[in-house]
Amino acid sequence: MPALRFPNRRRFLQTLGVSGAAAALAGCSGGGGSGDSTSTAGGGGGGTEASGGGTTEATATSGGGNASTEGGNASEETQQSGGQRTVGGNYIAGSSTDAQTLNFIQVSDVPSSNRIGLALDSAYAITTENEVFPLWLDLESGPDNRVYTANLRDNLQWGGDYGQMTAEDWVYMIKNVYQTEDNWAAYSNRGDWQREGEFIPVEKTGKLSFEIRLPNPDPAFPLKPILWGAFCMPKGLLEQYVPDKDLEGLQQDEEISTLAYSGNLGPYSFERWDREAAFVATRNDDYYMRDASDVPAAWQGAPYFDQYTYRVIGEQSTRLSALQANEITTTAIPSTQVSQFEGSDDTSVVVAPQPFCSQLIYNRRANSVFAEGFRSTAVRRALAYAVDKQLILENILNGYGNVAHTFQPQFSDFYDDSQVEQFGVGDTFSMEQARSELQSALGDTPYAYEGGQVVNENGNQVTLTLVYTTGSQTTETTCKYFKQQFEKLGFAVSLTAVRFNTLLDKYVTNSPTNGNFGDEEGDWSAGPFNAGERTDSVSPEQWDMMYGIVFNTYPRTPTSTDVFWQRETSTNFFGYYPEANLNELYSRASTATDQQTRQQALASIFGALSKEQANLFTNMGVDIIGYQPNVVGPDETFGFGWDDNIWYFDEA
């Protein structure tokens, strides 16, 4: 699975969103337990660094370093309490894909964000306890969680002649680059700066402070990818391009493409970028954190590597060989390869929870041969008894991951065990019960159970098409297991493997023009992935079940999951219409100002998803990352990496 780089760059999480694991795109199911599904990121490529793929990148970011410093850098004792940390070494992260640009305005891939993040710290980070950790600025919430004030540090200096970073720089960029009607700068995430179709008002309130005025209370605002992980560019630099809306000039600007404006704003300074080979940054001796008094002492001596390098290594086996040969400090490890690293004195393996959920997705749109079956909650609940989730986890994923029962990981604050109904583990895995409940449930549908077979109105056995993404052995094996179990239930199942992009183009997108089912009930559209009623809008290719695409469960801001589970939301391509009133619950959770109300509403949502078996949730993925054993810092907590600036090599 691709990995996330650090939580302090929330954008990455978002970018990986659909994905998950995998990196399969780039043929590098890189790290991660699930390392098997496919991600929208990248991959590319990319991935990815996902996707490709990519994606291994994400992982790569998570760490990495290389004790094997190039040229034996002298170590330097820092004023670190305890005196444990020393500066030295070259931290080398093996990545499957390279960055595409260093212009963060146009970044839409993880590798690019990771590299920029070395020279630019971003607004603030989020700790593993889900608290804001001020980097460039601190975010102060108003009493109603509607107005947020950003207070910048007073020692932030741009490179070149751009002087001090001030609120003017932020407000100018937000208003003239992010919040423009024509989006002349081709900003990748303009929607982040909008609410209900309108731009969020942003005003300077002082030399070093500015306000963000939300139209409605949003207590989760700090945890959303708006200011979290946000970068900034000096006004003086942008002014060269804003008046003429010069996109080409912005794309090809030398200062932007070498991060020359980064000044003291990041732990490292850009040194060179050899495309498709290496990105090298060297320790920034002027790092602003040296003077910060509101951070733990370790930050004042950060960073602790002389050099931070991303090495692009397209082939997974070569990356793993490089890790074994100590030529890189870290890279993602696929679950199928972990055994050769576990127990090794030369590599430490870190397994950290991921927010990505793998699921068997049911197509309830009109082009499924079993659409009316999948629309029935009783049928979906019956099907859930037929799949042994523990078997998938242990025998296919080699134990890397966690069983999923709903669209939220168990470590989430919003997961309530008492509300979640479990299927497919222990006694709730039962083929007999599955058959019996299915037989009963089919009574309300046009299908029937005859002679041990599920048949349609014409008496013919129902043949389900299970489409999945290529590039991952574990995905393919899991699909073969699904096929086996569903055939035991009385279905015929055919498997169709497609590339991830084909999956998106031919199976996920849908449109009323793809078929004429004469059953149109409305004229709404939530975009290309939910372009209308399920009785009307269908994908170009027929399918019944889908596997290999994983979704972000947003455990920090779970209200963001509404895009998947409501009738008219943007990513409900599978036509799920909930029986529970999720709309009301999401609305309550989004605006509640007290944590208890939010937790209750969200716990009810995730409980309902499990009871209704919205899809067959199988497992939550994990990141599996290999490090040289002398790297101190990585741990196995969700979001771990936010403080990678204070990681170091153990010289002992």
The alpha carbons of the chain give a radius of gyration, in whole angstroms, of 25
Give the DSSP letter string of 551-602: EE--SSSGGGGHHHHSTTSTT-TT----SS-HHHHHHHHHH--SHHHHHHHH
Smaller CB distance to another protein: residue 106 or 630?
106
504, 538, 589, 592: which one contacts another protein (CB under 8 A)?
504
Among the residue ranges 156-164, 465-473, 496-504, 584-592, the one whose residues contact another protein (CB under 8 A) = 496-504
- Chain positions 70 to 109 lying near another protein, rule: CB under 8 A, are 98, 100-103, 106, 108
Collapse the DSSP code of 560 into the 3-class scheme (helix H, G, I; strand E, B; otherwise coil) and give the result: helix
Least distance between another protein and beta carbon 315 (Å):
5
DSSP string, 422-474: P-SSGGG--HHHHHHHHHHHGGGSS-EEETTEEE-TTSPBPEEEEEEESS-HH
Contact between 339 and another protein by CB under 8 A: the answer reads no
> Which of residues 328, 378, 614, 616 is near another protein by CB under 8 A?
328
Calpha distance 246→257 (Å, rounded): 16
Contact by Cβ (8 Å): 162, 174 = no
Q: How far is the CB of 596 from another protein (least distance, A)?
A: 25
State which of residues 83, 143, 191, 426 lies at the interface with another protein (CB under 8 A). Answer: 191
Element (H, E) at 140: strand 137-141
Determine which residue in the list 141, 151, 321, 419 makes contact with another protein, applying CB under 8 A.
321
Give the closest residue to 308 by CA, choosing from 73, 508, 108, 518.
73
Residue 371: helix, strand or coil by DSSP? Answer: helix
Least Å distance, CB 176 to another protein, is 16
- The span of 41-49, 123-131, 395-403, 416-424 binding another protein (CB under 8 A) equals 41-49
Please name which of 40, 56, 187 lies closest in space to residue 114, comparing C-alpha atoms. Answer: 56
Render 472-483 in DSSP notation, one character per residue: -HHHHHHHHHHH
- Beta strands, E only, 375-426: 402-403
Residue ranges in 252-281 that form contacts with another protein under rule CB under 8 A: 252, 257, 274-278
Binding to another protein (CB under 8 A) within 202-241 occurs at: 225
Reading the block at residue 245, the tokens are 């809306």
Q: Which is nearer to another protein, 569 or 613 (CB)?
A: 569
Residue 511 interacting with another protein (CB under 8 A)? no
Q: Which of 1, 3, 22, 41 binds another protein (CB under 8 A)?
A: 41
Q: How far apart are CA 204 and CA 206, in angstroms?
A: 6
Q: Which two tokens stand for residue 424?
A: 């497919």
Of all residues in the chain, what percent are helix, strand and coil, respectively (each to 5)?
30, 20, 50
Query: Does residue 431 touch another protein according to CB under 8 A?
Result: no
180 is a site residue for another protein (CB under 8 A): no
Binding mask 522-561 for another protein (x = CB under 8 A): -----xxx---------------------xx-------x-
Residues that bind another protein (CB under 8 A): 14-15, 17-18, 40-45, 98, 100-103, 106, 108, 183-184, 186-192, 225, 247-248, 251-252, 257, 274-278, 311-315, 317-318, 321-322, 324-325, 327-328, 501-502, 504-505, 508-509, 527-529, 551-552, 560, 562-564, 570-571
